[in-house]
Every structure is written in structure tokens, then in C-alpha cells.
Amino acid sequence: MKFISDEGHKHQLDVLRRLTPEQRLLIAFDLSENTRRIFAEGLRIRFPDLSEQELRSLFVERLDLCHNRNY
């Protein structure tokens, strides 16, 4: 499934190349934080009866399953 056209992808890369390293890093941090929030909210929706502590434990457990162990 393609979400962006080849032209759109090229434009996106051009924009990213014009950013400073600091700007790119800030975008990466923002994307990471947004991904974490979406993941946590998805767990809250799927497991509405869990306490905050149980949700945190599940979050860490699930996140550990996603960790790249190749390095």
C-alpha cells in the first residue's frame, strides 16, 4: 500500500534535507513521543479495566517485545 506519491516523497526528502541536524532531531523526538502516546492510548482502549500501574506494566512488556535485539 502506497501512502505518498513518488513526487510527494521526493518533495518530503527535499524539505528534510534543508533542515538543520537539530531540527531533524527535534522532529524525530516529536515523532517518537507521538508514537508512544498513540501506543499507550491504544492499550487503554483495548484494556479499559486495567489500573494505571497495570497499563504501565503492559506498556513496558509490549514495548520490550518490539525492541530490536540485533545490536
pLDDT of the residue at 69:
66
Domain interval for residue 43: 21-71
Host H or E run for residue 8: helix 6-18
Which residues does 66 contact at the CB level (< 8 Å), separation at least 6?
A: none
- Within-domain flag for 46: yes
Answer whether residue 67 is part of any domain: yes
pLDDT of residue 24: 95
Q: Assess if residue 52 is contained within a domain.
A: yes
**Residue range 4-31: mean pLDDT, rounded:** 95
Question: Which cell numbers in the block locate residue 8?
Answer: 510527494
pLDDT digits (tens, 9 = 90+) for 23-71: 999 999 999 999 999 999 999 999 999 999 999 999 999 988 887 766 5
Does a structural domain hold residue 6? no
Q: What's the pTM value of the predicted model, to 2 decimals?
A: 0.72
